[in-house]
Structure 1
Amino acid sequence: MTENNKRLQYEELSLLISMFNDNEFKWVGDPNQLEHWKSALDKFMLTHDVSGLEVSPFRFQILLDMGENWFNVFLPCRYPEARPECYFSSDTATKQMWTEINQEIEKKLNEICDNGWYRLSHVKSFLQQPVINETSELSQFNKKSDYSFKICRILIWTHHLLSLEKRKCVCRWANELGIWGFSKPGYPGIIIVEGLYDNVQGYISRLKSLKWQAITIRSEESEVIYNSPLHNHGEFVKIRLGRINPGVSEFENMSEISSKMKEAGLEEMFLSAMKINKNKTNH
């Protein structure tokens, strides 16, 4: 990346941060990444000098004006020359709404490309209106539906899970979509997650978009929770097991996964999905 490209990237990020308050703009990453990004941006905003600043992919969320509805952004190292990865996520949107809004985002991303350079500083103007209209209607619907929502849990089997990039995606996407779970790298790869139905379905879609030798859903369960506020849905996630923040925990072997599923009261789901005879495990 040239110094000019780097400057354009940092100028665009600075503009985005200035457009949104602290509640609307949120970095997404581990503590070291967050510290690195904030430090680099602070230095640039003070000096307007990009020399010595590293180029790294940036990931953040922009809160829209209705509840927990987010515009998620991943800026590759070559942004604004390279296309950003953007998508809508929500704890309240239906699967159809989630799909339609993300299709609209895909369309608008093409429109904000100016002479080969992307300008995400236009994000507020092109996203706010369609999302507000859709989610306002949904909000009214939820108020009339006795606070019901659907929880879903799935067990995914893959031929293998070795790629560090895939393992990062497994963990990162769970965190972004607010779902809990476990995974086991190696042969085979096992991924078990639980959360709001639409978020879990979105997670499945993302995983299937990656290249696998073989991937299949071995088990899927869902249940509707009535008369409880949506923001309390985490209390009904069985494989959460006391963990406060969403995300996927990696375990080295199948016995650890089995133990966690037994602790969550989901041993039968695990054994059936893995085609393990319970009587044999007791010998």
Structure 2
Amino acid sequence: MNDAEYDEDKESEVDIRDMLELQLSEVEMLTSMFPSKEEFKMDDPCTVSAVKSFLDGQIRYEFLHKRVGFSVKVTPRSSDSKVVVELVCNLPHDYPHVAPTVFTRSPLMNRENHQRLNEDLNEFIQGIERGEICMFSVIEWIQENVDQYLVTVEKKKDSSPIKEVDTVFTRLWIYSHHIYSKFKRRDIIDWAQELKLTGFSLPGKPGVICVEGYSRSVDEYWQRLRRQNWKRLVIKEKEEQDIGDEDMKKYNKFDGFEEKVFDARGGKGREYHMDLGKLFEFLEKRDCRHIFSLYFGVDGKMAAD
């Protein structure tokens, strides 16, 4: 069991309009800095229009279902380097009052160095004073520091790079105090599908996430997930097994990745709870019944009765 735990920043009063206006100014600045679509790409070009519609009073905030997201191709300061690091950014509506959600992609970086880059980048972002846009500073930090995370790629006789082969199957069982945010729910699903992971998520209070696949992809999923704001996010159990060149499907307990909803019942405010008895039945069918007591401290049959 992994006892890593992350606390969500307590909500405070913030003028969302002011925050979104700053975000639009930052996007405008980045667009001028990176005019090529190969360098700077919006996740959804319609997002800016939606934000502007809210700021102009054409739609109410509760109908603003999009948030600003983009990727930037960043090259190191050193002129002899041809390595490009892709910086992926998602801005919560209350950014820059809160930190942005960012991570990097770099196929020429080994697993350990890539994880260290993302952790150090996150530490740098946490040290930036909140309230000011910071993506330019983040890009500069990557440009100035990324070289130290790169390794020399050994070549075979045919000059093709030697790629790391991931043979470790990993399954993570993650507990969240709650999962309500429509944005988090979308990210949980989209990232799993992007990284070709299987499993499921259970929104509500508490929240349950299970992902399984090759260890490198599972680790990247966890790194992305933990960088969002959570009241509590814990790895309850981590299962690992070196499967060599065997077909991973033999070890999967789930087909694809999906969000599960079991007879949701309303609570106070936006709270809602799932039918835990049906969750137990779902886990039992996949030979995962022991997980129920790990999450809830009781035998699943008690919830099913």
Q: Does the C-alpha gap of structure 1 residues 198 and 35 become closer, same or farther in structure 2, counting only changes over 3 Å?
A: same
Between the aligned partners of 2:29 and 2:39, the Cα distance in structure 1 is 14
Q: How many residues align?
A: 245
TM-superposed deviation, 1:217:
2.9
Distance 1:219 1:103, change over 3 A: closer
Counterparts of 1:250-269 in structure 2 under 5 Å?
250-252=260-262, 253-254=278-279, 257-258=282-283, 267-268=286-287
The CA distance in 1 between the partners of 2:89 and 2:122, in whole Å, is 12
Deviation at 1:148, TM superposition (A): 0.9
Could you report, residue by residue, the CA deviation over 1:54-113 in whole angstroms, capped at 9, with x for unpaired residues? Answer: 787423333446889532323233445654333335567555323421343245447876
Matched, 1:127 2:127: no
Kept in 1, the 8 Å contact 2:19–2:93? The answer is no
Does 1:222 find its partner at 2:241? yes
Residues 143 and 35 of structure 1: CA distance in aligned 2, closer, same or farther (over 3 Å): closer
Shift of 1:16: 1.6
**One of 196, 201, 213 as aligned partner of 1:183:** 201
Alpha-carbon spacing, 1:20–1:148, altered in 2? closer, same or farther (3 Å): farther
Deviation at 1:193, TM superposition (A): 0.6
Q: Specify whether residues 126 and 215 from structure 1 end up closer, same or farther in structure 2 by C-alpha distance, changes over 3 A only.
A: closer
Given candidates 171, 190, 194, the residue that maps to 1:154 is 171
1:62 aligns with 2:72: yes
Identity of aligned residues (%): 18
Shift of 1:164: 0.7
1:131 partner letter:
V
TM-score (norm 2): 0.55
Give, in whole Å, the separation in 1 of the partners of 2:35 and 2:152. Answer: 24
| Match of residue 103 from structure 2 | 87
- What is the match of residue 218 of structure 2? 200
Q: Once the 2 structures are TM-superposed, how far is the Cα of residue 4 of structure 1 from its aligned partner?
A: 7.1
Match of 1:98 in 2: 114
Match of 2:231 in 1: 211
User: How far is the alpha carbon of 1:149 from its aligned partner?
Assistant: 1.4
Q: Relative contact order, CA 8 A, sep 6+: which one is greater?
A: 2
Cα distance change, pair 201–12 in 1 and its aligned pair in 2 (3 A): same
- The 2-side partners of 1:171 and 1:40 are apart by 18
1:16 partner amino acid: L
2:116 is paired with a residue whose SS is: helix
Residue number in structure 2 paired with 1:11: 25
Task: Tell me the amino acid that sits aligned with residue 12 of structure 1.
Answer: E
CA RMSD of aligned residues (A): 4.9
Structure 2 gap ranges (5+): 1-14, 76-81, 263-277, 294-298, 300-305
Contact conserved, 1:152 with 1:222, CA < 8 A, in 2?
Answer: yes
Q: Can you give the 5+ residue segments of structure 1 that lack an aligned partner in the other structure?
A: 29-33, 45-49, 228-232, 278-283
Shift of 1:173: 4.1
